[in-house]
Structure formats: structure tokens, C-alpha cells
């Protein structure tokens, strides 16, 4: 069974650029969530996808957007990058049904640096 994978591992962008981060969920998991973790802080919920539809969103502006594909993999897109977007971006999947009871399994993260 393959766990949650993310790509790329590290990324450096400049302010104003756009970035796409990718996540492959664990086999059999149909729900994917994205989190932003700034240095020294806990993760902040960005949004969640269940069967290709967004079904929950945290307090992030619209320039943070996402997609989920029929194979349940997912993308996080960030437009007009700002310096404060520098963080570790974590993807998590669970067996779902969008259920609140399920354990979250995390990928290794993508470290984004905005200069």
C-alpha cells in the first residue's frame, strides 16, 4: 500500500508568481485536505476535497485554489505569491466519505520559499 506522496519536495519562487503543488492520496482514500504550516507553528487548514468537490475551506483567500482528479490525486494552486506564503504545505488523505471520524494520513510536505 502506497502512502501519501507530494511533489515537488522543495520549491523556490519569487513574489507575484504562481505555483502548483501536487499530492497523490493513499490507495483507497477519496478525501484530500491541504494545510499550510509556517515555521514553528501548527498547520492551518486550507481546504478539503471529497470526490472532486471542495467540501470545506479554511480562512485563506481565493488565490489559494485546488483540484481533485478522478483518481483522487489533488493539486493546490497559489496565485500572486506573497512572502508570507513561504511555508511547508502538507497534504493529507483519509478513507473518507468526508467523514469526520477518519484518521488523517499525511504526506512529507512541499517546502515553498517565496523570495
Partner 1 sequence: KQEVTQIPAALSVPEGENLVLNCSFTDSAIYNLQWFRQDPGKGLTSLLLIQSSQREQTSGRLNASLDKSSGRSTLYIAASQPGDSATYLCAARDSNYQLIWGAGTKLIIKP
Q: How far apart are CA 17 and CA 103, in angstroms?
A: 34
Q: How far apart are CA 1 and CA 25, in angstroms?
A: 11
- Helices marked H in 1-115: none
Cβ 22 to partner 1 shortest distance, Å: 14
In terms of Cβ atoms closer than 10 Å to its own Cβ (0-12, 13-18, 19+), residue 44 is middle
Window 4-43: residues binding partner 1 (CB under 8 A): 4, 6, 33, 35, 40-43
Cβ 12 to partner 1 shortest distance, Å: 15
Is the CB of residue 47 less than 8 Å from the CB of residue 34?
yes
> Which of 16, 56 has the CB closer to partner 1?
56
Fill in the per-residue mask, 42 to 71: x = in contact with partner 1 (CB under 8 A), - = not in contact: xxxx--x-------x-x-------------
Examine residue 95 and tell whether it contacts partner 1 (CB under 8 A): no
Q: Which three cell numbers stand for residue 42?
A: 501548527
Positions in the binding site for partner 1 (CB under 8 A): 4, 6, 33, 35, 40-45, 48, 56, 58, 88, 90, 92, 98, 100-101, 103-109, 111
Amino acid at each position: 500500500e502506497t502512502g501519501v506522496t507530494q511533489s515537488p519536495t522543495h520549491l523556490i519562487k519569487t513574489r507575484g508568481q504562481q505555483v502548483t503543488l501536487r499530492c497523490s492520496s493513499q490507495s483507497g482514500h477519496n478525501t484530500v485536505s491541504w494545510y499550510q504550516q509556517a515555521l514553528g507553528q501548527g498547520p492551518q487548514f486550507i481546504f478539503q476535497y471529497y470526490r472532486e468537490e471542495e467540501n470545506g475551506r479554511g480562512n485563506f483567500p481565493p488565490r489559494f485554489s485546488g483540484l481533485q482528479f478522478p483518481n483522487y490525486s489533488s493539486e493546490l494552486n497559489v496565485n500572486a505569491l506573497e512572502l508570507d506564503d513561504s511555508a511547508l504545505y502538507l497534504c493529507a488523505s483519509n478513507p473518507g466519505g468526508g467523514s469526520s471520524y477518519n484518521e488523517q494520513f499525511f504526506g512529507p510536505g512541499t517546502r515553498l520559499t517565496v523570495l
